């Protein structure tokens, strides 16, 4: 029994993994294990022999079971220690830096424009990007044969076979929101309408999707002089300069009469744009007095009301103000570009604290 005892205890102490330990348990104290078989021999012993061998065997069985349990715990500890060693973590190290997202220049400039016009009493109106042919063209005095339709590089939606109604379009400008505002709220009106517009065009200054902001003011006593003042106020506030000079160039748009394209005086010294000084002129928008036919399409009495409208490229004025050379990069979602040209989410543009600080 002593031989068995020391053999088994030695084997247990030599085990290095749980599977071997389990095999050892089965072969010693398991049903047919060595210790268990020894206990069966008790039945063949004399009562005297049994009185000595019985307690000794029981003690041996207990001792082996205790050694197995202790070894099992030791092995589990070793496994845990091994994991702790490889998975250790210095909780006193600084946390992983999170790079804050940025506000896209288009969003920033839209907010800036909105803040400036809100200060002059303009609300914000929106319309659908998939627009009816009527809102995008006809109501704006661009009938189907009009050359302006061809110039716009319009994206047309698909109509089902046999459906002969004119197809919807991806709006080519924000001007249809003028019509929706007139029909929706009637006169008087003072709104700007920022949003996405679409044209099939692609180069350094054109992308198939871009952004415009439309302005519309209608009342009983609105004139070109109001348009001029509003645009001057806007340009000064937007470019954050005290003085600007605007040039109204006679032009033609089907939806305004008279129509004017507006340029601002600027200089391009050293490739750097300076607004308000110099000998160059920079075209920034189209505008005019709303055509009576457009007022009527919008359900407004043209004998009583008149108004001005303008349309401006948001991406374009963003490029000018923030010196961004290529429009296409605006929509590439390149993180390096966004971090370089983006704005802090915590600095909301407002006139009191400065637009772009």
Q: Which residues bind ligand DAH (CB under 6 A)?
A: 173, 175, 214, 253, 256, 286-288, 309-311
Cβ nearer to ligand DAH, comparing 143 with 323: 143
Cβ at position 139, least distance to ligand DAH in Å: 13
Cβ nearer to ligand DAH, comparing 137 with 343: 137
Cβ at position 285, least distance to ligand DAH in Å: 7
Cβ nearer to ligand DAH, comparing 108 with 287: 287
Cβ nearer to ligand DAH, comparing 194 with 286: 286
> DSSP letters along 161-228, please?
TT--SPPPEE-SSSTHHHHHHHHHH-SSEEEEEEEEEE-S--BTTB-SEEEEEEEEEEETT--HHHHH
Query: What radius of gyration do the chain's Cα atoms show?
Result: 42
Cβ nearer to ligand DAH, comparing 28 with 175: 175
Buried residues in 75-94 as b, exposed as e (16+ CB within 10 A): beeeeeeeeeeeeeeeeeee
3-class DSSP state of 259? strand
Give me the torsion for CA of 148, 187, 119, 331, rounded to 10°: -30
Cβ nearer to ligand DAH, comparing 311 with 349: 311
Cβ at position 132, least distance to ligand DAH in Å: 16
Cβ at position 167, least distance to ligand DAH in Å: 20
Strands 209-219, 189-198: pairing kind = antiparallel
> DSSP letters along 48-101, please?
HHHHHHHHHHHHHHHHHHHHHHHHHHHHHHHHHHHHHHHT---TTSPPPPPPPP
CB-based closest residue to ligand DAH: 311
Q: How many CB atoms lie within 10 A of CB 166?
A: 14
Cβ at position 303, least distance to ligand DAH in Å: 21
Cβ nearer to ligand DAH, comparing 300 with 309: 309
Cβ nearer to ligand DAH, comparing 281 with 337: 281
Cβ at position 279, least distance to ligand DAH in Å: 26
Strands 274-275, 169-170: pairing kind = unpaired
Chain centre distance of CA 41? 80
Is-contact 316 282, C-beta < 8 A? no
Cβ at position 286, least distance to ligand DAH in Å: 3
Cβ at position 100, least distance to ligand DAH in Å: 35
Reading the block at residue 272, the tokens are 């750097």
């Amino acid at each position: 029994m002593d031989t068995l005892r020391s053999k088994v205890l030695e084997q247990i102490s030599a085990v290095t993994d749980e599977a071997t330990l389990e095999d050892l348990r089965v072969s010693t104290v398991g049903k047919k294990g060595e210790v268990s078989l020894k206990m069966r021999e008790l039945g063949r012993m004399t009562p005297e022999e049994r009185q000595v061998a019985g307690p000794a065997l029981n003690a041996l069985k207990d001792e082996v079971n205790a050694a197995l349990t202790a070894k099992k715990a030791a092995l589990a500890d070793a496994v845990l220690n091994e994991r702790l060693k490889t998975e250790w973590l210095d909780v006193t190290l600084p946390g992983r830096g999170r790079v804050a997202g940025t506000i896209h220049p288009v969003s920033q400039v839209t907010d800036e424009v909105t803040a400036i016009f809100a200060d002059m009493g303009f609300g914000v109106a929106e319309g659908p990007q998939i627009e009816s042919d009527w809102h995008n063209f006809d109501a704006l005095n661009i009938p189907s044969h009009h050359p302006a339709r061809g110039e716009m590089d319009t994206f047309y939606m698909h109509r089902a076979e046999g459906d002969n109604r004119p197809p919807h379009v991806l709006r080519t400008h924000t001007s249809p929101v003028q019509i929706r505002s007139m029909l929706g709220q009637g006169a008087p009106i003072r709104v700007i309408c920022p949003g996405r517009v679409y044209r099939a065009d692609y180069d350094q200054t054109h992308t198939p999707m871009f952004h415009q902001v439309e302005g519309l003011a209608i009342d009983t006593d609105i004139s070109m002089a109001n348009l001029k003042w509003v645009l001057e106020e806007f340009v000064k506030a937007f470019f954050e300069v005290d003085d600007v000079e605007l040039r109204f160039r006679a032009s033609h748009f089907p939806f305004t009469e008279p129509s004017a394209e507006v340029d601002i005086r600027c200089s391009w010294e050293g490739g750097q744009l300076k607004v308000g000084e110099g000998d160059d002129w920079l075209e920034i928008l189209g505008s005019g007095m709303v055509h009576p036919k457009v007022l009527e399409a919008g359900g407004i009495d043209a004998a009583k009301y008149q108004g001005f409208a303008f349309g401006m490229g948001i991406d374009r004025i963003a490029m000018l103000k923030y010196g961004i050379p290529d429009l296409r990069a605006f929509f590439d979602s390149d993180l390096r570009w966004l971090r370089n040209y983006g704005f802090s989410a915590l600095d909301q543009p407002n006139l009191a604290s400065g637009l772009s600080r």
